[in-house]
């Protein structure tokens, strides 16, 4: 039953009070080693691939249809790579490959690792907002981040792979699908997310440290964009599994 339980066996819903996403550009050759054989990197101008670091304040997460009072509130930090997958029917799906997921609650780590393949761990996460500056930190995860959320005109980060915010928006997330791959069985797990009124706003990153990016051993990793969205209902459909025969 263990492997089956990890395949998102039921639909889940939640409310995102806030989702902050930082997207980092990396030469595609550097990220290729993290990509399983069934997926392809989603690239920009055939040069850059992207890692998204999402920090989400989640409320009332529960099986879809259950009363909100039975849900769980937690903070999620997710590390994802933008990818493409060709389904067995030949459909091109754009989505995210999960590298790692962190949460501030042990119970959420347990649930996440019981019902998903997202590699949850528990970490310390502190966040506060003062005078339009949102600060998020974690000693255990090596995170120290400050963003300004109340500025008028906001410039792209210095050295960004993008020329405009319109280009950057394509890699802001979330994407319709997330993928996991079992190399032993060659099975692809596909989970589709559904959201409404997702209109992210650019934010100015004042400073950042992201511990995981250092441990990946990337030689050239640069901040490309940062967006925030607030007060969004969200749900994930039941996972489906395909046999990959590429």
Confidence of residue 1 (pLDDT cuts 50, 70, 90): very low
Annotate 135-161 with b (16+ C-beta within 10 A) or e (fewer): ebbbeebebebebebeeeebebbeebb
Strands (DSSP E) found in 131-221: 133-138, 143-148, 177-182, 187-195, 201-202, 204-210
Q: Is the pLDDT of residue 125 over 80?
A: yes
Q: Compute the radius of gyration of the chain from its Cα atoms.
A: 17
pLDDT at residue 2, rounded to an integer: 56
Q: Which one, of 129, 160, 117, 154, lies nearest residue 9 by Cα?
A: 117
Q: What is the pLDDT of residue 215?
A: 94
Helix extents (H) in the chain: 2-5, 28-31, 106-115, 165-169, 211-215
Q: What is the pLDDT of residues 137-174, one digit of tens each?
A: 999 999 999 999 877 789 999 999 999 999 999 998 77
Mean pLDDT across the stretch 84-110? Answer: 95
Architecture (CATH level 2) of domain 2-243: Beta Barrel (2.40)
Domain residue limits, the chain: 2-243
- pTM listed for this prediction: 0.94
% residues pLDDT > 90 (the chain)? 89
For residues 204 and 160, the answer to whether their CB atoms sit within 8 Å is no
């Amino acid at each position: 039953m263990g492997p089956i339980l990890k395949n998102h066996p039921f639909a889940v819903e939640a409310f995102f009070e806030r989702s902050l996403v930082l997207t980092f550009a990396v030469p595609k050759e550097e990220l290729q080693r993290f990509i399983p054989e069934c997926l392809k990197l989603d690239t920009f101008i055939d040069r850059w691939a992207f890692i998204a670091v999402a920090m989400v304040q989640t409320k009332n997460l529960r099986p879809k249809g259950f009363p909100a009072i039975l849900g769980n509130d937690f903070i999620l930090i997710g590390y994802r790579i933008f990818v493409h997958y060709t389904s067995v029917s030949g459909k091109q799906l754009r989505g995210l490959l999960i590298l790692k997921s962190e949460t501030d609650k042990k119970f959420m780590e347990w649930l996440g690792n019981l019902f998903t393949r997202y590699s949850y761990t528990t970490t310390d996460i502190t966040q506060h907002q003062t005078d339009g500056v949102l600060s998020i930190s974690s000693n255990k995860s090596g995170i120290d981040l400050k963003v300004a959320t109340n500025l008028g005109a906001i410039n792209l980060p210095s050295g960004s792979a993008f020329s405009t915010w319109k280009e950057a928006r394509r890699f802001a997330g979330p994407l319709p699908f997330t993928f996991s791959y079992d190399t032993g069985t060659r099975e692809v797990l596909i989970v589709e997310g559904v959201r409404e009124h997702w209109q992210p706003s650019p934010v100015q990153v004042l400073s950042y440290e992201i511990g995981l990016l250092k441990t990946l051993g990337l030689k050239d990793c640069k901040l490309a964009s940062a967006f925030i969205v607030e007060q969004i209902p969200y749900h994930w459909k039941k996972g489906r599994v395909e046999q990959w025969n590429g």
